[in-house]
Structure 1
Amino acid sequence: MASFVTEVLASSGKLEKEDLSGKISKLSRKVDDTKEEVCEMITKRYGDFLPSLQGSEELMIQVEEVSREMDALINCIENEVQQNIHVAVAEYAKLKQQLEKNTLIITMLGHLKEFHNAMEEFSKDLQEKKYVDSANQLEKAKASVDSLKSWKTSQLPLLSTLRSELTVQRENLIYHLGDEWKRLVIWRLPSPAGVKSFLKVELNLSHPCSKDVEPKPPALLCCVLQALAIQGDLQHKIKLFSQVLLKNMMKPLVMYPSLSVRVTKQQDEGTILALECLEESHEERSTPSQVYSKLLLVLKTLHSHLLGTANHAPVIFPDVPIGEKKLSAIMGELIWEELSQCIIHECLLYSIPTNSSQLEKYNTVIKETEDFEKSLKEMEYLQGDSTDLLKYARDVNCHFASKKCKDVIVAARKLMTSKMHNTVKITPNSKLHIPKLPAPSSEVKVKQETRNEMITENTKQLSAMSLCLPACRISESVQQLMELTINTLCEAVGSSTQCALQLFFTARNIFQLFYDVVPTYHKENLLKFPHLAAIQHNNCMYLAHHLLTLGHHFRAHLPQPLSEGVATFVDMVPGFRKLGVQCFLAQLNVQRAELLERLSTAHNFCNLDDDDNYIAASKAVRQVIHQLKQLGTVWQDVLPVSIYCKAMGNLLNTAISEVIAKIMMLEDISSEDGEHLHTLCQTIIEEGPLVFIPLAEENKNKKYQEEVPVYVKKWSTFKELVIVLRANLQEIVDRWADGKGPLALEFSSSEVKNLIRALFQNTERRAIALTKIK
């Protein structure tokens, strides 16, 4: 049985592990002894048949005692010992946590020590102008602060102080580096006010003497640049420098041919790049060769004195933010795109030939561009194989075509918006002046000859005047427009397929532009001035006439697919004819409206025995005749004779149709009114045909005046009306001739009866006459 002390110790939870182990061993021995005794007793009881009751009872008591001790021990193990095990584990975990915390504190102290040492070394190196070492020490200090920030329990005020100190010292270093940069790279930039202001631009790459044991440039410059790179500020510094360089030196050298660059090397002061004007240039643009030589001089000088080390080898900064890139490569990336675009738009664009015969000479410019880029690649300003600059130079055919097309369209639009009234005379013998074109290829020539043979076999011989324009006047600008089109098509002959296509469709665009621009731009004047309307009509007919055959002249000399039938303008002919007709018809409608408005003031030709009415009617007729004569003066030398006669006949027909309608509406015409009406109508008959009198040089066309009834549909009707106004009843009946006379050809029976009722009083003779009008 466990002792009292043992029980007390066990119950208090202070039982030692060794006592527990001893007890377990002792109990194990007791169990073994008891087992042997029980076995012996069982053997004697049941084997030897020796009764031993007293021994059995003692043995049972002993077994019960051992069982109780085992239960107590098991209970002790389950309750006390296991509890003590959990407590021990918790204590061990706490000790481990404490150890880790101590380790972190030791690490933090190590970072603080590293920060302190780095800042001490930084200050020392900065005073000695060891800028690269200073920058590296500052990076070490930054790394230490970053390590402290990553420690989760570092809520120390000291950390904020360290960050502030790091920021202050970095700005201090950047300031010193910027100050050194300003001493080594000095710009003199006057306020811009034109090309003369650029003559004061200077860039001084200073090389001061080594006073106060200062490092000698370019070693000092190298240190400054490398320190800037380590601090991540080099890209910004080079970018600012590149912007100033582009704006004040590179671009002006490209844009102004009178500017050149002077490089002066001074032993004590360094190298100076200055812009100057050696001689006044009369050229508007520099040639590519001039531009390339000036730019290379600047870039080579920078490469030797700014972007290189003491041995003039490009600076390389491994393990810094600029990576493995050299300074020349960095600057090249910053300036090349803008510089190349400036060269293209301010130089190469203007060097593109304006004539296809000069294209071969442009190979020199391509070679110069290749050499220029090759030099830049050697200095590592450029990295790629091909750039926009070289691509632009090599695509000279496309650019030539584009430039030519642009210039052609600009010139065409200028002609279309010029004044139309400056005219030239066109005769049936007038022809387009087409330069002699090279002979077509044999294949095209065979096709052309075959086509001509087929046409000759299947058609009759045309007269010499077939497809000739009648004599008329057109705008001088339109004649120049045709010349411009022909020159454009001549440029397409012998050009590459792409160039020829561009030029051909530009020629088509000229006519499309005319179709769209001229009617809109001159709209008011075309309605206001009959002269301009007639000229526009002729212009459209002139263009339509030449569009019929223009493609035929050039098709055989153009490359495929133009030579296969694509080169044609015939599809535009109907549109131009319609445009000319619409313009002239609109003017005719305006003139008709004016004629009718003038006749509306005649008071319907009634009661002409009243002086006021007669004066108004006479004035209206005189105004109509005057208007027609004025139009004749304006149109006679402009329009073709046939068109002129048709137009004047149409207007005169409008006037007499209105007069006939007004007279036919009268219900009572007195003898005095009849005389007045006859006088007014006779005036029209006498003076109306005068508008058809041809010009002096056109006396051979007097037939047009004699053929007035051909162009004035109501002329015969009007003459019959004038006769009826003075005739008696018998004369009217005779001219009717039972519906077969000249009067019956112009008027219906009802119209003649109404005239008789208006002219004559109601008598028996009038009634007889009316019965004869059937």
Structure 2
Amino acid sequence: MTSFVTEVLASSGKLEKDDLASKISKLSRKVEETKEEVFDMLNKKYSDFLPSMQAAEELMDQVETVSKDIDLLKSCIENEVQQNLHEAMTEYAKLKQQLEKNTTVISMLQHLQEFDTAIGEYQKALQEQKYVVAAEQYIKARNSVDALKAWRSADIPLFQALGSELTIQRENLTYHLGEEWQNQAVWKLPPSKELTSMESFLTTELHLNTGASPEREEGTHPLLASVLQALAIQGELHKKIKLFGQVLLRYMLRPLIVYPCVLVEVRDVPEQGSVISLQYKESQTEHSAPAQVYAKVLTVLKALHTHLFGMTCTSTMGHSSNRQTLVLSAILGDLIWEEMCDCIIQECLLYSIPSSSSQLPEYGTVIKETEDFERSLREMCYLSGDSDLLKYAKNVSCHFANKKCQDVIVAARKLMTSEMHNTVKITPDYKLSMPKLPILGGGDGKRGSQSEKPSLQQEKQLGERTLCLPACRISESVQQLMELALRTLSEAVGSSNKCAVQLFYTVRNIFHLFYDVVPTYHRENLLRFPHLAAIQHNNCMFLAHHLLTLGHQFRPHLPLTDGVCYFVDLVPGFRKLGAQCFVAQMNVQKAEMLERLSTARNFSNLDDEENYSAASKAVRQVIHQLKRLGKVWQDVLPVNIYCKAMGTLLNTAITELITKIMMLEDISSKDGEHLHTLCQTIIEEGPLVFTPFPEESKNRKYQEEVPVYVKKWMTFKELSIALKASLQEIVDRWAEGKGPLALEFSSTEMKSLIRALFQNTDRRAVALTKIK
């Protein structure tokens, strides 16, 4: 036992794996032997009752010694084996790191070899014009450089040199491909500064040089396919096609769409390709028909599809997993379709929309032509998915309504801003030419109306001219405006529900526009020229008159919901607008009249020749102003409006004159005679300003009815009489408050006039006492 432990201790620090295992095995056998001896001893002690006390003590010493040996060996294992294990793991890690570094270096060398090989193959292929191979080798070289850059020590000078070489070769390939592309599609374009007319586009030509090169080997791609495939691999194909599409749109497709007289010609050149050029052909139309535009556009796109864009390419983008098949015509279509579609709509389809609802059924031809056009584009892969072009064509009802409404508003605004002085005569028998509307109710309705006719005749009927316009003059433009509204409403009757509603509200907008535009646009002229103010008054009343019944005439034929207010709500506004315009002109004339009367020096001291001359001149100017207005408004205003207007102005003049005379505190006999003369001038010439008709014989009736229109006329006549009458005559005309003088003046006014006319005498005092 002792020799075993000593042997274990002697090998401390030098244990090998096999030696340690053998010693553990020996120790294990020793433990088993000791265990058997202990079991044997206990069995003898407790089973055989053999007195073996001494042997037991020796055995206990032996167990304790073995236990110590076990502890010592365990400690040795924990210290020595674990230390050697850590050292072994460290050494293994260093070896692994060294191996990885060596592997990386080998990988770098492989990438460098691949880069060098790819560049060599690239240069060889580029010299031989094998552009697809060159592009693929360039991609390989680029991938090799990308893999090298992923290494942590990629900042060494070698990698910078590789990157520079890669950039140079990329630009070199791009240049060669660009040159080849330009050789395949050669544009002859006019200078941009000359693009001011249609003629400048006629020099545009596109040469498609797609003939095969005799130097190329059999079994390889044609040159064009090779160039396109290389561009696709390099990622430059979209850019090239985009630039080509922009030029195609600007210099060829757009002129073909916009100008009807520009045609396209495709001419084949043997062993070279084709030439697409623009030609001129005289045309009388302002805008091209859709069929003509579609034919011209298809001619160009078919030629391009045949010689240039009717092939596919594969774009690998450097990885086989990213392979993508590119259809060249689809790429071009995606790039130019939206802009070309907008151009066709704005320059062609917009003008092909019918201007009348009766022409809408014929528009089905245009829809069919548009469908055929898009079908041809889809067959050549220029178009995929839904198209705004066909949607626009099919939505013709909405576009018709929009166009019609826009045209109506433009025409209405043009009428509103035209000259107002061009007038037409309106008589009570005047009627607008109403459009023929569908008959509602059929034959039964007609029979019913005929059966009721006798009973209606027996009842009291309204006059023939009830609700008729009085004779007057209105602007020709307003008559045309009303006719425009009627035509628009008649279009609504034969249109779809949506279109009818839109047209109806457009007519309402016409009248709203008139209400806002005309007073603003003609503001200065309406205040400056009384003739135009009278015409504007008549225009507003004319529109208000027809708006009363316009809605009822069309209501049964329009798909409007119940409760919709048609045009009646606009009537008060138009009446007010006409009245305001004319009242404003009346105020201008009143102000001028009062300003002239203000130069009469208050009609005082007329015995002075200068004062009398000034007063006489003022009165003459007022009479002249009224006569001029009478001629200006003659045959323009309705007779009743004319007479009221002239009566109001004349009443303003004589009221001012009465006020001035009644304010005088001292009127001499000579002043009274002069004042009487001035009043007589107005009394004699005032009625002559009432000339509503050019025929003098028709005017006499209204000249005799001046007191009806001039409120202060009788007052003025009584004042004129009083200025020359004696005290007794004044008292007699007063007639104790019952005479004609008392009807026009109050006692206070009459007493004041008597005090101004007569000196303070007993006779005047007696006369004053009688004025009460």
Q: TM-score, normalised on structure 1? A: 0.91
Counterparts of residues 748-763 of structure 1 (less than 5 Å):
748-763=746-761
Partner SS for 2:274: strand
Aligned twin of 1:538? 538
**In structure 2, do the counterparts of structure 1 residues 14 and 461 end up closer, same or farther at CA, with 3 Å as the change threshold?**
same
Residue 114 to residue 209, structure 1, CA distance change in 2 (3 Å): closer
Aligned partner of residue 737 in structure 1, secondary structure: helix
User: Could you tell me which residue of structure 2 aligns to residue 132 of structure 1?
Assistant: 132
Q: CA deviation at 1:687?
A: 1.2
Of 266, 270, 280, 2:269 maps to 266
Which residue in the other structure is 1:281 paired with?
Answer: 283
1:143–1:762 CA distance, 2 compared to 1 (3 A): same
Change (3 A) 1:483 1:703: same
Higher mean C-alpha deviation, range 106-115 or range 612-621: 106-115
Q: Is the 8 A contact 2:261 2:283 kept in 1?
A: yes
SS of alignment partner, residue 324 of structure 1: strand
Matched, 1:317 2:317: no
Residue 197 in structure 1 maps to residue 195 in structure 2: no
Matched to 1:222, the amino acid is A
- Cα gap change, 1:724 to 1:295, in 2 (>3 Å): same
- TM superposition shift of 1:43: 8.5
* Native 8 Å contact 1:115 1:144 kept in 2: yes
C-alpha distance in structure 1 between counterparts of 2:273 and 2:455, whole Å: 84
8 Å contact kept, 1:649–1:708 = yes
Q: Is the 8 A contact 2:305 2:329 kept in 1?
A: yes
- Identify if the C-alpha distance between structure 1 residues 358 and 448 changes in structure 2 by more than 3 Å, giving closer, same or farther: farther
Q: Which residue matches 2:674?
A: 676
Query: Secondary structure at the residue paired with 1:460?
Result: coil
Segment of structure 1 superposing worse, 156-165 or 346-355: 156-165
Residue 329 of structure 1 aligns with which residue? 330
Q: Do residues 298 (structure 1) and 288 (structure 2) align?
A: no
1:92 to 1:634, Cα distance in 2 relative to 1, 3 A: same
Aligned to 2:595: 597
Change over 3 Å in CA distance of 1:404–1:731 after alignment to 2: same
Describe the SS at the equivalent of 1:172: helix
Alpha-carbon distance between aligned partners in 2 of 1:340 and 1:218, rounded to the nearest angstrom? 35
Bigger shift: 144-153 or 363-372?
144-153
Deviations 1:78-112 (A, max 9, x none): 32222222222333333333333333333333333
- Residue 514 (structure 1) aligns with: 514
Instruction: State how 1:575-654 maps to structure 2 within 5 Å.
Output: 575-654=573-652
The aligned residue for residue 559 of structure 2 is 560
State the aligned residue count: 761
Q: Which residue of 1 aligns with 2:366?
A: 365
Moved over 6 A (4+): 2-6, 36-46, 55-61, 214-218, 450-455
- SS of match in other structure, 2:312: coil
- Distance in 1, Cα, partners of 2:660 & 2:511: 47
Could you tell me how far apart the structure 1 residues matched to 2:536 and 2:455 are?
34
Provide the rounded CA distance (Å) in 2 between the counterparts of 1:459 and 1:155.
114
The answer to whether the 8 A contact 1:496-1:559 is kept is no
2:244 is matched with 241
Q: Which residue of 2 aligns with 1:469?
A: 469
Q: How many percent identity over aligned positions?
A: 65
Question: What do the CA deviations read for 1:31-74 (whole angstroms, capped 9, x no partner)?
Answer: 5555666777889999554786xx88877776665454333323
* Alpha carbons 1:184, 1:207 under 8 Å: kept: yes
SS of the equivalent of 1:702 reads helix
Q: Map residues 434-513 of structure 1 onto 2, 5 A cutoff.
A: 434-440=434-440, 442=442, 460-513=460-513
Residue deviations 1:709-739 (CA, integer Å, cap 9, x gap): 1111111111111111112222222222221
Query: Is contact 2:669–2:757 with CA below 8 Å preserved after alignment?
Result: yes
Residue aligning to 1:22: 22
Tell me, which stretches of 5 or more residues in structure 2 are unaligned?
none
Q: Is the 8 A contact 2:256 2:262 kept in 1?
A: yes
Structure-2 separation of matches of 1:210 and 1:411: 63
- State the secondary structure of the residue aligned to 2:160: helix
1: CA distance between counterparts of 2:37 and 2:362? Answer: 131
From the superposition, tell whether residues 448 and 714 of structure 1 become closer, same or farther in structure 2 (CA, over 3 Å). farther
The CA distance in 1 between the partners of 2:41 and 2:564, in whole Å, is 134
Q: What SS does the aligned partner of 1:286 have?
A: coil
CA distance in 1, matches of 2:218, 2:447: 84
Counterparts of 1:159-174 in structure 2, within 5 Å, are 159-174=159-174
Give the partner amino acid of 2:344.
Answer: I
Matched, 1:122 2:122: yes
The corresponding residue for 1:311 is: none
Instruction: Indicate the SS of the match to 2:491.
Output: helix
Mapped contact 2:631–2:691 kept (Cα < 8 A): no
Could you tell me how far apart the structure 2 residues matched to 1:639 and 1:751 are? 38
For the Cα contact (< 8 Å) 2:190–2:203, is it kept in 1? yes
Q: Distance in 2 between matches of 1:45 and 1:551?
A: 136
Q: Return the alpha-carbon distance in structure 1 between the equivalents of residues 506 and 455 of structure 2.
A: 31
How far does residue 4 in structure 1 lie from its aligned partner after superposition?
7.8
The answer to whether 1:99 aligns with 2:96 is no
TM-score by length of 2: 0.91
Q: C-alpha root-mean-square deviation of aligned residues, in Å? A: 3.1
Residue aligning to 2:731: 733
Q: Which residue of 1 aligns with 2:401?
A: 401
Structure 2 vs 1, CA of residues 618 and 8 (structure 1 numbering), >3 Å: closer, same or farther?
farther
Q: Distance in 2 between matches of 1:102 and 1:374?
A: 63
314-323 or 405-414, which deviates more: 314-323
Compared with structure 1, are the counterparts of its residues 553 and 452 closer, same or farther at alpha carbon in structure 2 (3 Å cutoff)?
Answer: farther
SS for the counterpart of 2:314 is: coil
Distance 1:609 1:293, change over 3 A: same
Aligned to 2:714: 716
1:454 and 1:166 map into 2 onto residues whose CA distance is 107
